[in-house]
Amino acid sequence: MSEQKGYNPELGERYISKAARSGEPFLNSDERKDKINEWQDRAWMNETGRFQGLSYKSASRVEGVGGQDDDISSVHREWFVNLTIPKLITENPGRKIKIMDLGGGNGMYAKQIRDTFGDKVEVFTTGLKKKAAEKSLEINDKKAKPNKNDLKWRSILELHDFPEFDLIVDTYGEALYSLKMRSDVSVNDISKYFNAVSKKLLPGGHASIDFYPIFEMDQSLVEDVFRDLEKQCGVKISFEGKDNFIVKIDKPKIEIEKK
């Protein structure tokens, strides 16, 4: 097995912090400056409720609760708590499963995972602004406090080009706010986002992305982007859902060559 640049963790080693201080981010310095301004604008719009009905929608993000628009198992056609995460734990004994919730809002779904699996997992989220997330969190529980790993980065685009996560989930999160709520979203924007997701998956890793913008674009162009990503990143991309367009990304396990 060839060694991947920037990734050679010992069993059980916490290597997440390397992403914040080594290598190059997915965005160059100019892009990062522009993006930070954009993220700050979006955080203000979200916090002030400019997008009515979406500001604190994540307050009720719970998997398997019927009748909710944002029931996570229904949105993704996938039961993470009962099936996906237990399978990852079984397949990777002796270490924590690393999970990223993109656009995790107030961290309700991340909290559910932590409460269910304890020290078998390590969960992180991205998000625009902690103040808005904390206000949303209070809707469900006045005593609730954000986890230290919540909103650790504004976007997956701030991270670096080596794998770290077993599972990446985006539910009405980063793809929605960074791509859908823009009049100028381009194929290049989509390529950058999904490239970042694909490159952050560990071998054997899985991602499920709720991706509404596909309905507003030339699907053949987007599918060409995905086919290119499959070749570049060594992943398999598939689609699921009718009312919601779900993108599934799987990175095959790397077979260790026998000596």
Domain edges within the chain: 24-250
Largest pairwise CA distance in the chain: 60
Q: What are phi and psi of 72, to 5 degrees?
A: -65, -35
Tell me the C-alpha distance between 164 and 162, whole Å: 7
Rounded to two decimals, the pTM is 0.83
Residue 178 DSSP one-character state:
I
Dihedral (Cα; 111, 100, 56, 158), 10-degree rounding:
140
Q: 23 near 6, Cβ under 8 Å? A: yes
Q: What is the pLDDT of residue 2?
A: 37
Amino acid 217: pLDDT: 66
The answer to whether 10 touches 167, Cβ cutoff 8 Å, is no
196: CB partners within 8 A, 6+ apart: 26, 156, 157, 159
Q: Which amino acid is present at 160?
A: H
Query: CATH number of the domain at 24-250, please?
Result: 3.40.50.150
Paired with 249 in beta bridges are 207, 237
The DSSP code for 168 is E
Amino acid identity of 177?
Answer: Y
pLDDT tens for the 259 residues of the chain, in order: 333 444 455 444 445 555 555 667 888 888 888 888 877 776 666 666 555 444 444 456 678 776 555 688 888 889 999 999 999 999 999 899 999 999 887 888 888 899 999 999 999 999 876 666 666 666 666 666 778 888 888 899 989 888 889 999 998 888 877 775 555 667 888 889 999 999 999 999 999 998 876 666 677 778 888 999 999 999 999 988 655 688 999 999 875 444 4
